[in-house]
Amino acid sequence: MPDPLVIKRPDSGASPGVGFLVSVVILGPIAGLLYLWRTGKEVHFDNPRINLVAHMLIVIVPLIWSALIWAEPFRTKASEETSLARSSYFNTLKVDWWMSFMMWACPLFALGALGYLATSYLPHADALSTSLLSAVSTMGLILALGVFYGAMLFTRAETRISDEGMRNGLLNFYEWESIDHFSREGDIYSIHHKANPALPASTFRLRTPASQATLERFAAEKSVPILEGTGSALATIKIAVIIGFILNIVFCLVLMVATRLDLRWIVAISLGIGLLFTLVLERVRGVSKYTKVKPKIAADS
């Protein structure tokens, strides 16, 4: 069993100015919500412009909070494994977009619904009024979505290689005996696990000739072939993923038009559908059979 990765604790040496700004962004809205709670007032101002800004902040503030959470990316300590590259979500998107595509139905629907509501209420900003409970629940939902999707977008996966196998990210480890083959499209490589060799298990990008040569040397030593292209089975999966994405959007639109269900519940339902479809996809890919090595948090020095 390979050793787990060790995540470094975030650097606490932020400048006083940055710390003050972060405090204002976090404590300011909380203080405003507490004031409304103590006075029993709703989110409403007589001035239409101020009232519009206040309601916009219900959406913007939790997005800022989620951005602050991911402002400091995870860093891992050096290990005996050889680091080949660090890849962001967008670096390999043109190859592995289908792995997470069904999850994006929820934010797309939410943005569309938000745009529709904005165009409907913008001419009547003076009539906007929101209860404290409704504002807090909306902010909580947006914060949860921001943190969830921020993890997908801003976590950089580090590709490491050793005599035991390969690691691409924080959790999954691929022993050499479990790797069926690699596929390659340009400088983007995919690991194909023996749980389902037809579908890629993970993708990573190697920009430098040195990192590519290191992978090819290990693959030759371990008798793991590197093939061009991913095969026809993936095309069928991509079609099914697109259909699942469309069904999610259509179902939520029907709920919004044909029922009086709260929009926040519809967004939560869309997220649940996306998660369910993605879990089915992962079952087809055989993700449950991958070796999981949970990382550890570095102890205080």
pLDDT in tens, the chain (301 residues): 677 777 766 655 556 666 667 778 888 889 989 988 999 889 988 888 888 888 899 999 999 999 888 876 667 766 778 889 888 889 899 999 999 999 999 999 999 988 888 887 777 788 888 899 999 999 999 999 999 999 888 888 889 999 999 998 888 999 999 999 999 998 999 999 999 999 999 999 999 999 999 999 999 999 999 998 776 778 899 999 999 999 999 999 999 999 989 999 999 999 999 999 999 999 999 999 999 988 777 665 4
In this prediction the pTM is 0.86
Cα 246–Cα 251–Cα 255 angle in degrees, nearest 5: 150
